[in-house]
Amino acid sequence: MPILCEPAASARELVLSIGGKVRAADTLRAAAQMLESDPSETLVVVGPDCPVGEALTFASTLRLIRPAVGVILARDYVDVNMLQQALRAGVREVVQAGDQAALSAACQRSYEVSMRLLSTTPAPPEAPRRKEGQIVTVFAAKGGCGKTSFAINLAVALARHSDRRVCIVDLDLAFGDVAISVQLDPAKTIVDALPMAGHLDNTGAASLLTRYQPNLEMLLAPTTPGDAEKIPASLIGELLAVLRTIFDCVVVDTPAQFSEHVLTAMDNSSHHVLLTTPDVPALKNLRITLDMLDLLSYPRQIRSVVLNRADSKVGLSMNDVERVVRWPIAAHIPSSREVPISINKGTPLTFANPGHPVSQAISRFAQQRILEPAGSAVEPGKSGRSRGRRRTA
C-alpha cells in the first residue's frame, strides 16, 4: 500500500491520482517509520507542501538503504533545476501537482522499476558474487547491411536460452532504429541518463529501460533531434558498466562509423560482432575495420565476422569473399524476404518464427560464439589495447 506524505488538505487529489488505498503520513519522519515497519513497500509519493530540501534528503537516504523503493515528488512548479536536483538525489520522477494522469503514470512506472530491481537483488554476502554479464558490440562500417535487425534478433536469441536476462542498447544516438523496429514508444531514453552522470547506479539505469519481453529489455536512442550531441562518451561507459551488473548479456547496436562512443563500447566489450554482406563496398569497409581494430590493439580472439544475406546471387563466391576479407566467416545468415516483412510488422523473426533458417543461423551463432565461449572470453579493459591515446586525444 503506497505511502503519501502530504500535510495539507490538497492530499485528497493526490490520493485519487495514485489509485486504490494509501497510507497517509503528515511528515517524512512518519513516512520513514512506515517504511521501516513494512519491508515490502515500494512507493512513496511526496506532496507539494513537504519542504523540498527535506524531500531530497529523504530520497537520497532511501536510495542507499532501500533502493527498490521509489520516491515520486509532486510540486506546484517544476523547472530544469528542480528536476536535476531531484534526479541526483534519487527521486524517480517529478510531476506537476494536480496532474492526476501524470502522477498515476509515474506511479505505475515506478512500480515496474521496483519489480525489476527486486528481481535482481544481489545474493546475500555469504553467497558467491554474481558474475558480470557480457557486452557484445555489433558493428558494420557500411549502412544497409542489416546490422540493427541482426542485433535485435541476436538479443532475442540470447534471451531465449534458459533464464538469461538480456539488454539491447541502441548506440546509434542520432538515427537509432531499434525502437521503431519493434514498435516501442519509449518513455525514457539514453538522454535521460544525463542528470545521473558521474553517480549512475542500478536504480538509475533500471529507470531508463523499456521492457520488450520478460527477460529482454532495451535502452533506446534519443527521439528528439539534437539530443545525440548532448551525450558524452563517458556516460556510455558508465551505463555499460552498470548494465553488465544487471544483465547476463548486453547487446550494443552501433552506428555505421567509428566514433568515441563506439570505441567506448568496444573497450567494454567481451565480443565484437562485425557484420557484412557479399558486395564489394561492404567487404572493403570490413577489411578496413579489421585493420583498424588491429591498429587499436583489440584482441583478435573476441572478433566474429558474420556474413549477412550470404546466399545472395550477386556474382561473388565464398572464395571471393574470404579472399577480400582475409578473415574466417563465423556465421552465414541466409537471405530471406521474411526478414524485411518481420521488420515492417515490428516482430523479430527469431521471436515470431524460431524455426526459420535465418532464426536458426542466428541462434547457432549465439550459442556457439557468445554463450559457450563466455567463460574464456578476454576481460574488457585487459585486452592490451592502449587506452591512453584516446584519453589525451
Name the one residue in this structure whose C-alpha cell is 553467497: 127
Q: What are phi and psi of 143, to 5 degrees?
A: -70, 160
**Segment 18-33, tens digit of pLDDT:** 766 788 888 888 888 8
Q: Is the predicted pLDDT of residue 382 greater than 50, yes or no?
A: no
**Segment 27-67, tens digit of pLDDT:** 888 888 888 888 888 999 998 888 888 999 898 888 888 88
Confidence of residue 72 (pLDDT cuts 50, 70, 90): very high
Q: Provide the 8-state DSSP code for 120.
A: T
Burial class (CB in 10 A: 0-12, 13-18, 19+), 167: buried
Please, are residues 277 and 146 in contact by the beta-carbon 8 Å criterion? yes
Alpha helices in 145-304 (DSSP H): 147-159, 178-181, 202-206, 233-246, 260-267, 280-295
Q: How many CA atoms lie within 13 A of 207 on its CB side?
A: 25
**Segment 172-216, tens digit of pLDDT:** 999 999 999 999 988 899 999 998 888 888 888 998 999 998 889
Task: Enter the C-alpha cell of residue 177.
Answer: 532504429
Diameter of the chain measured on Cα atoms: 78
In DSSP notation, 204-217 reads HHHTT-EEEETTEE
**Segment 279-304, tens digit of pLDDT:** 888 898 999 999 999 999 999 999 99
3-state secondary structure 323-343: HHHCCCEEEEECCCCHHHHHH
Name the one residue in this structure whose C-alpha cell is 512548479: 77
Strand, coil or helix: 319: helix
Please, are residues 334 and 311 in contact by the beta-carbon 8 Å criterion? yes
Name the one residue in this structure whose C-alpha cell is 564489394: 280
Which residues make beta-bridge pairs with 308?
Answer: 333
Name the one residue in this structure whose C-alpha cell is 503506497: 2
User: Looking at residues 254-272, what average pLDDT do you find?
Assistant: 93
Q: Is the predicted pLDDT of residue 254 greater than 80, yes or no?
A: yes
Task: Enter the C-alpha cell of residue 297.
Answer: 590493439
Distance between CA atoms of 345 and 285, rounded to whole angstroms?
Answer: 30
Task: Enter the C-alpha cell of residue 26.
Answer: 503528515
Distances in Å between the alpha carbon of 393 and those of 207, 245, 286? 33, 29, 25
Least confident of 114-123, 241-250, 375-384: 375-384
Q: Percent of the chain scored above 70 by pLDDT?
A: 87
Name the one residue in this structure whose C-alpha cell is 519542504: 51
Distances in Å between the alpha carbon of 100 and those of 12, 22, 106, 113, 235? 11, 15, 10, 20, 33
- Mean pLDDT, the chain, whole residue set: 85
**Segment 83-103, tens digit of pLDDT:** 888 888 889 999 988 888 888
* Closest-CA residue to 241 (of 265, 219, 217): 265
Domains and CATH numbers, the chain: 3-119 (3.40.50.2300), 134-383 (3.40.50.300)
CA 308 to chain centre: 25
Give the per-residue pLDDT at 122. 55
Give the per-residue pLDDT at 21. 76
Q: Percent of the chain scored above 90 by pLDDT?
A: 41
CB atoms closer than 10 angstroms to residue 352: 15
Distance between CA atoms of 287 and 265, rounded to whole angstroms?
Answer: 20
Distance between CA atoms of 122 and 239, rounded to whole angstroms?
Answer: 19
- Identify the residue with better confidence: 17 or 46: 46
**Segment 125-155, tens digit of pLDDT:** 544 455 789 999 999 988 888 999 999 999 9
Q: Is the predicted pLDDT of residue 1 greater than 50, yes or no?
A: yes
Give the per-residue pLDDT at 261. 95
Give the per-residue pLDDT at 250. 96
